[in-house]
Structure 1
């Protein structure tokens, strides 16, 4: 008996991914800490291994460790850029012929292989450069953007009414936020009580169960007639998808073309900043003057995940009294305020308060995707979201690499510089939305004028 609900797979994947990210960052931090100098890292201590006296050798050593961790993270992200782009493009573009389970299975397999390798890496203390190879192999099977985009397509296939789609997607957003928040909250206790090996083993088991559910229990959402169509090669898939993307912009009429470009560019830039800056939060929290331990890092990550639920509530409440574009403005401005606060956060309380303005962090992405889908016909929705997934994969890898590189270059003289830069970049989406609002108002005025002209002629 097949199950046509992808939510269990999303639940397990969200648990594994939200636990793997802080585990990997902190494992790298501790390994590089111990490999760099003679300072030992106390794994069971309640005190963060961090120097706060700027004149001490420990302070300079800690800054050097942060720089090395940031550069190593950059190398990891860059190693997965090309295979991640290629796999995302091919898997999603061929899912109409091969079915939605095809990208779900391959991307889940890649994440499972990466987590198993992380477990072995921790157990045998293999050289860290081997971690870069595992990132390359995992990205070759498909990035997490591939998994989430395939899940979104699966949900859309199952829903016939727009209201039903909205409810299903809203439930998924809330579920991901709650699962990610609880997992991030407990990540510090996983490290302290179980260690890295057992923690990575737990994520691997969860991913193995997820893969088994998709393969044996999840039903295919694509009709058999569609899935049994003539298969295409990789080159043909590239050509077909590029042609569909080109026609998506070419067929846009009137003011739809500039709106499509503006909304798409706004999504990419906002996603670029969010994906790039928030991984730096962990490094910033581990360093001076905050000097957080793994438990506090887990608390902070949990508060970040609450933004999923907060964004859903914000959209649900604000949609009764304002247009979607104003909801996007609110989300961008509040996120900008939170990022600026981070640059000047010097205490634990201040760092926790930073999360308050970021309560609507996800709202602009949800609203902008909805506005994008309203610009184009329903027959081209699949092409649109494949294009978004491709750009998010490219932008996400470049963002993490760029912000890690900037942080490693500026951490010695001012760690908060990268956050001020990120807040400044968010002015670009604001400008884009202002231009989009002007186009929408002018088009509305033109429509009203066109409707009035025939009545004037008949009165004569």
Structure 2
């Protein structure tokens, strides 16, 4: 059977299976800690809020302690799983330039399946929830979401020759995440209320098995050429492959001019600083909704998560519209950052259910900076080193998201008793960093990206290299 060059089904089904259980993870930990700390069953109500029925001072103190313990549990999980996932991401995605993109897709799927099955086991047999930290560490040895997305973005770059198509298809992958995760988030609350925790975990595991079969047997490989430098050294050809993994990022920077290196580093700084602020703030939304005075039920959390994932669709539409209108990429990135700032500031002072839904409107364009920055950086790097680029980006994004989750969880545990919304103000304040660096990139000159596209074609041999010798390009140092 002939394979397909469509990586979108992998991203779509992975998003559905992940977001089917992602809202449940914090709720399961929250409910378990509640039972352990209070020796009572978790209060479940059909009302929009549980706070009205549990407004005593004892219940309020219980909420604060459970909030603190839940945020610390998240902190421990992130700390233990971060380093293995980062190392695997950097090595696998960099090696995919020679060894193929599918390995960066298949291994993270296996790791996610292991984690989901571990969660199902802990939930079904009512085991100690701290076993989930060990399961998270084990799954991180196979890579994580950053590994999968890094491989998928590099896969898309292999297929796209037009820069406009590349930007839109990268944004399309983000949109797939939003659409399917939104559907999963809506169904999660009803699924939990009707069948408990076990069936959602089992359904997610089944979906992940289907994705794994598709990736192994149907998805075609885009990197067809075998490594030309696979020289046997002391009877072990694996050493050359390991060397390519370690020095992939170095080769990526060595292939561009000094001015391009400067712009590339600045764009990476924007990417990582914005990722730190955005994912750190967003990671605490579910805990904030479980806390007083909102005390949302699982149904409301499902609707809130679905509305939050709508930003992927609206951001894709925003990128498409702004790109079609000829808006400069840096301006699109700025609009996305300002969207996050406004949403986080409003979120910090939200105390009612209605406002909690309305406050998500300013966040509708918050994902736009990610595909635009990826596309801008991919234009600078030669096509032969795209895997190294996305390995570096996935490494940085995973590092910043995991570290930001740990930092924001610890800050939330320390501030939840006096101002739960402080972390959202912190996220908004940290967005000042990418805005300032964005101005520096504007001063350096974004024409580097356009001009280095010509340098890339010279490197790939698609144009006469003699022509480049007569070109007075400002890229030459």
Q: Would the TM-score normalized by the shorter structure come out above 0.5?
A: yes
Question: For the Cα contact (< 8 Å) 2:277–2:430, is it kept in 1?
Answer: yes
Gap change, CA 1:277 and 1:181, over 3 Å in 2:
same
Question: For the Cα contact (< 8 Å) 2:100–2:223, is it kept in 1?
Answer: yes
Most deviating of 82-91 and 375-384: 375-384
Measured after TM superposition, the shift of residue 103 of structure 1 is 2.1
Most deviating of 89-98 and 243-252: 243-252
1:411-433: per-residue Cα shift (whole Å, max 9, x none)? 01110111111111000001100
TM-score (norm 2): 0.87
1:265-293: per-residue Cα shift (whole Å, max 9, x none)? 01001111122111200000110111111
Measured after TM superposition, the shift of residue 159 of structure 1 is 3.1
Alignment partners' CA distance in 2, 1:251 and 1:9: 32
Corresponding residue for 1:450?
none
Gap change, CA 1:192 and 1:331, over 3 Å in 2:
same
Alignment partners' CA distance in 2, 1:441 and 1:264: 14
1:118-154: per-residue Cα shift (whole Å, max 9, x none)? 1111010111111100000010111111111111222
Alignment partners' CA distance in 2, 1:342 and 1:328: 21
Corresponding residue for 1:456?
none
Corresponding residue for 1:156?
157
Backbone CA RMSD of aligned residues: 2.4
Instruction: Determine whether 1:303 maps to 2:307.
Output: yes
1:234-274: per-residue Cα shift (whole Å, max 9, x none)? 77555434433234335543532321111100100111112
Corresponding residue for 1:418?
423
Runs of at least 4 residues off by over 6 Å: 51-55, 231-235, 441-444
Gap change, CA 1:228 and 1:10, over 3 Å in 2:
farther
Alignment partners' CA distance in 2, 1:107 and 1:228: 27
Alignment partners' CA distance in 1, 2:402 and 2:155: 25
Corresponding residue for 1:283?
287
Corresponding residue for 1:186?
187
Measured after TM superposition, the shift of residue 11 of structure 1 is 1.8
Most deviating of 185-194 and 196-205: 185-194
Most deviating of 415-424 and 53-62: 53-62
Alignment partners' CA distance in 1, 2:146 and 2:423: 25
Measured after TM superposition, the shift of residue 371 of structure 1 is 1.9
Most deviating of 41-50 and 387-396: 41-50
Query: How many pairs were matched up?
Result: 444
Question: For the Cα contact (< 8 Å) 2:336–2:369, is it kept in 1?
Answer: yes
Corresponding residue for 2:361?
356
Question: For the Cα contact (< 8 Å) 2:49–2:294, is it kept in 1?
Answer: no
Measured after TM superposition, the shift of residue 44 of structure 1 is 6.2
Corresponding residue for 1:385?
390
Corresponding residue for 2:101?
100
1:345-366: per-residue Cα shift (whole Å, max 9, x none)? 0111111111111010110112
Instruction: Determine whether 1:435 maps to 2:440.
Output: yes
Corresponding residue for 2:466?
none
Gap change, CA 1:336 and 1:237, over 3 Å in 2:
farther
